[in-house]
Structure 1
């Protein structure tokens, strides 16, 4: 497994623990972060032993968002020509978007475990995850508005499907901070925990449940959920019919049914 500068990766019990590992910088997203996360999730996608991902941040905070030094560096490279500046900035933004698209497009479920700060770009990141869990005292904020810009790497596109359009607009326009309790009420997180230790215990417990299921069934379920974001119901029904015409021939179906009838725990191949 590759050694990363911005991440620490562990694989155990079919669960990949992907941890942002810059605690001394509040896990700010520097240049290494944006390039390495694509490689990390390519590895997750291609490694059959990995069935589910837990994404967390080392130290007291999940992440303070994009490293301001990175923004300053991008600004310093601008010249006098507006058109060329715009083209360069657009390429940069699309590259950053690709980093979180890698999380969203991952075939395996991704569970975010959030404590402390989850600000700006970190909201973009967790919006690309399948589920989110936090400590009660976690602090969420779409901070870009306070920096004089619109969030541009996924929050405004993905978050309305998670917390609803009206609430997303309120948070995006005001930049106000939401704690774990309110995050639970508005549906930003599925569950809250008293502290970081309980958070990780709880999230890894859910991850183990998912990892014990048929990886073929999990793959199909995630694919159908993602497909329905951009398609009509009849399109989705047609797609699942075609998909399951192949997938129902998997040995996993027979293994699951036999285990259910014998009241034993099924064991699925990677």
Structure 2
């Protein structure tokens, strides 16, 4: 398995379909370096293409999930000695699009991504978790859409994804104030679906739920993620039409026959890898 400077990939059991993707700069509270934006989409693509991977659990090493973009990376991005404002602006736009694409890689990944959040989840950390499919946290986790305090308009996906998760008014308030909010408030807002007492309990629950999803039909799981994401940008009628087309090509599979047989025989189904 490929080695990364900013990430670690673990598989707790050789028979498990659950892979753990870990932000691995604990000395920097997992702040996002420029290297991260190269490695992260590469790691996700590798896991997506690996037939052994059914579900990905995303977490941070040490006490924090992610403290946001590394300030050294931020200064590097903003440095441009050219006197041509148009060319400097065009280069900056390309850098931002490149960074956005690294976060959107979570949605491009066919396999579900579960965020297991403890400690700080700030700025770029919120960009990452809003792109994830399921979010859990510890009760001592804390969040902040921090960019406004750094004189930045958040540009890696939070302003686009957060309103659909917590509601437009809540997203506006969190983004304009930059205020920290707790794991329990994140649950009230709907940013996370479950809160756990300790990081150990969080990791255990995330693994159990991931293993449960990994035991389901991979065609049904990847289809559910794809159709839900596509449906965000569609009317109800368009979404229904899209899923009818999707299922017309995917529904009549060996997975369907196996699921029905397993139900009748009262046994656990066994599905082929994807």
Q: Same fold (TM over 0.5)?
A: yes
TM-score when scaled to structure 1?
0.98
Give the number of equivalent residue pairs: 270
SS of residue in 2 equivalent to 1:8: strand
User: 1:159 aligns to what?
Assistant: 162
SS in 1 for 2:89: helix
Is 1:192 paired with 2:200? no
Matched, 1:146 2:145: no
Q: How does 1:7-156 map to 2 (within 5 A)?
A: 7-11=7-11, 12=13, 13-156=16-159
Give distance in 2, aligned partners of 1:6 and 1:32: 7
Mapped to 2, the partners of 1:105 and 1:87 lie a distance apart of: 25
Residue 260 of structure 2 is aligned to residue 231 of structure 1: no
| Rounded Cα–Cα distance in structure 2 between residues aligned with 1:15 and 1:180 | 25
Consecutive aligned runs of 4 or more in structure 1 exceeding 3 Å deviation: none
CA distance in 1 between counterparts of 2:163 and 2:243 reads 25
- Which residue is equivalent to 1:168? 171
Q: Shift of residue 78 of structure 1?
A: 3.8
TM-score by length of 2: 0.97
Once residues 14 and 216 of structure 1 are traced to their aligned partners in structure 2, the CA distance between those partners, rounded to angstroms, is 14
How far apart are residue 29 of structure 1 and its match? 0.4
Q: Give the 3-state SS of the residue equivalent to 1:27 in structure 2.
A: coil
* Structure 2 unaligned regions, length at least 5: none
Shifted more, 179-188 versus 7-16: the winner is 7-16
Which residue does 1:5 correspond to in 2? Answer: 5
Structure 2: how far apart are the matches of 1:117 and 1:243? 39
Residue 255 (structure 1) aligns with: 258
SS at match of 1:159: helix
Q: CA deviation at 1:64?
A: 0.3
